[in-house]
């Protein structure tokens, strides 16, 4: 064996996949044979394998981590090295299955070695960037690990106070404060945290606060009780950081999920307008979640709120129509459902069949038949989609604009000007991305 003090990674004579297949039946013998530092190196090799491009090796790595997590006392002894490995991997890993496996590994460490994990988190994962914040979010969200980990953390705080030392950074202390408030939420204390962040905004503190609030609102009783906080959260739906936008959206998802129809109906009127810009967010998950929440809110409307929502619902017609053509199928599907919900609120039953069949031209024809004066507004809404990163979205926008331009017969209408603008945009698009005959159709109008 090589010197344990020389902690380079163990040089295995075969690939991780071959190694896993070979050892799976003899794992008990290996647990006895390898030294603790060699076991750590194997665990780190499995974590690092998730950073490689070979998807097959990713599955092998996850399989091995599952084995290691079943015997944490044998394989997960060097907590600091493993935490550092997890952090480095999360900076590069995107597949959800890999991220979930690493989060589960953190959960096992928190359950089995809370003191060691706490020390590692405090020294190696100060919550000041997106990767570190995500790891601290796991500490909030995994209810099965909260007790031991946070008990250790609070014990360390008490020890620090007695010794008057500076072990904790201000951000870690803020994370602990958020946890204490959310564990036994008092309305005024949560409101105080939100107001403090508004006065002195810090990205890491806001991220921790929204993560803690979202977890707290998973409780139906707390979600109903804390609805008064929503006005202080809604502004973060347009935050420049997409992680903050996502966390703010999850706060609303949890509240709406646990509220009665009448309460959700009232929230819908206030929230729907803030959701519309998120339909075009750069993050597909945000687009999907915001559109799904919009649909849920429309379906929850009761009484007078239905009438109050009609104008706002109409503003979602064109965005939802075009997002039905997304390359991301989950977004396209939820857009279709939301468009059906808008048709229901507007009592336009004749729209349902063409929406279900995804007949864009027939939908456009019906929209004009309902109110021809809206043509210019529809065109103004659809023009930005001519520059959408997705080819299918650009094509849908072109087809929609072409139909509206051709369908209008009033030569004095400003539709002519908008059609001219569209021609200019189309001319800068590559011919391969331009449907045949569209330019001719617009120019001859």
Cβ neighbours, 10 Å, residue 125: 24
Q: Torsion over CA of 267, 312, 281 and 353, rounded to 10 degrees?
A: 110
Give the number of domains in the chain: 2
CA–CA dist 405, 414 (Å, integer): 10
Alpha-carbon distance values, 97 to 58, 62, 113, 311, 412 (Å): 9, 8, 24, 41, 57
Angle at the Cα of 88 from the Cα atoms of 87 and 90, rounded to 5 degrees: 65
pLDDT digits (tens, 9 = 90+) for 256-289: 888 877 777 888 878 888 999 999 999 999 999 9
pLDDT bracket for residue 119 (50, 70, 90): confident
Domain range for residue 48?
A: 8-127
| Residue 86 neighbours by CB under 8 Å, 6+ apart | 47, 102, 105, 106, 135
Given 88, 105, 127, which residue is the final one in a domain? 127
Residue listed under structure tokens 């988190």: 121
Please check whether residue 354 lies inside any domain of the structure: no
Comparison of pLDDT for 319 and 365, the residue scoring more: 319
Please check whether residue 174 lies inside any domain of the structure: no
Given 97, 127, 157, which residue is the final one in a domain? 127
Comparison of pLDDT for 431 and 303, the residue scoring more: 303
pLDDT bracket for residue 78 (50, 70, 90): very high
Q: Torsion over CA of 231, 233, 238 and 239, rounded to 10 degrees?
A: 140
Please check whether residue 66 lies inside any domain of the structure: yes
Lowest average pLDDT, out of 68-82, 169-183, 262-276, goes to 169-183
Please check whether residue 106 lies inside any domain of the structure: yes
Please check whether residue 146 lies inside any domain of the structure: no
| Residue 413 neighbours by CB under 8 Å, 6+ apart | 375, 376
Please check whether residue 122 lies inside any domain of the structure: yes
CA–CA dist 434, 1 (Å, integer): 65
> pTM here?
0.70
Please check whether residue 409 lies inside any domain of the structure: yes
pLDDT at 392: 92
Please check whether residue 39 lies inside any domain of the structure: yes
Three-state DSSP at 387 gives helix
């Amino acid at each position: 064996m090589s010197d344990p003090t020389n902690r380079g990674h163990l040089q295995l004579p075969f690939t991780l996949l071959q190694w896993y297949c070979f050892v799976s039946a003899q794992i008990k013998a290996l647990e006895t044979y390898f030294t603790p530092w060699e076991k750590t190196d194997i665990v780190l090799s499995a974590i690092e394998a998730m950073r490689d491009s070979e998807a097959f090796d990713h599955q092998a790595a996850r399989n091995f981590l599952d084995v290691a997590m079943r015997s944490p006392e044998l394989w997960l002894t060097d907590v600091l090295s493993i935490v550092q490995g997890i952090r480095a991997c999360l900076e590069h890993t995107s597949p959800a299955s890999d991220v979930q496996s690493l989060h589960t590994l953190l959960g096992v460490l928190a359950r089995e070695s809370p003191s060691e994990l706490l020390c590692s988190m405090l020294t190696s994962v100060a919550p000041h960037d997106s990767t570190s914040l995500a790891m601290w979010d796991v500490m909030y969200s995994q209810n099965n690990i909260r007790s031991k980990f946070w008990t250790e953390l609070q014990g360390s705080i008490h020890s620090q106070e007695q010794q008057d030392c500076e072990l904790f950074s201000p951000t870690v202390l803020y994370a602990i404060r958020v946890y204490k408030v959310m564990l036994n939420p008092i309305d005024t204390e949560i409101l105080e945290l939100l107001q403090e962040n508004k006065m002195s905004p810090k990205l890491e503190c806001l991220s921790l606060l929204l993560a803690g609030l979202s977890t707290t609102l998973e409780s139906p009783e707390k979600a109903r009780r804390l609805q008064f906080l929503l006005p202080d959260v809604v502004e973060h739906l347009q935050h420049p950081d997409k992680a903050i936008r996502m966390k703010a959206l999850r706060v609303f998802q949890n509240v709406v999920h646990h509220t009665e129809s009448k309460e959700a109906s009232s929230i819908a009127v206030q929230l729907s307008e803030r959701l519309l810009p998120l339909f075009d967010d750069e993050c597909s998950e945000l687009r999907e979640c915001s559109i799904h929440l919009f649909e849920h809110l429309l379906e929850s409307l009761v009484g007078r709120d239905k009438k109050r929502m009609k104008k706002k619902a109409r503003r979602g017609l064109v965005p939802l129509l075009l997002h039905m053509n997304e390359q991301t199928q989950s977004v396209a599907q939820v857009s279709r459902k939301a468009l059906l919900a808008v048709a229901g609120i507007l009592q336009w039953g004749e729209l349902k069949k063409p929406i279900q069949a995804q007949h864009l031209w027939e939908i456009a024809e019906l929209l004009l038949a309902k109110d021809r004066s809206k043509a210019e507004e529809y065109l103004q809404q659809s023009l930005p989609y001519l520059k959408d990163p997705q080819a299918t979205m650009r094509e849908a926008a072109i087809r929609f604009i072409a139909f509206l331009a051709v369908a209008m017969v009033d030569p004095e209408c400003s539709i002519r000007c908008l059609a001219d603008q569209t021609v200019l945009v189309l001319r800068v698009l590559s011919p391969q991305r331009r449907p045949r005959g569209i330019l001719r159709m617009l120019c001859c109008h």
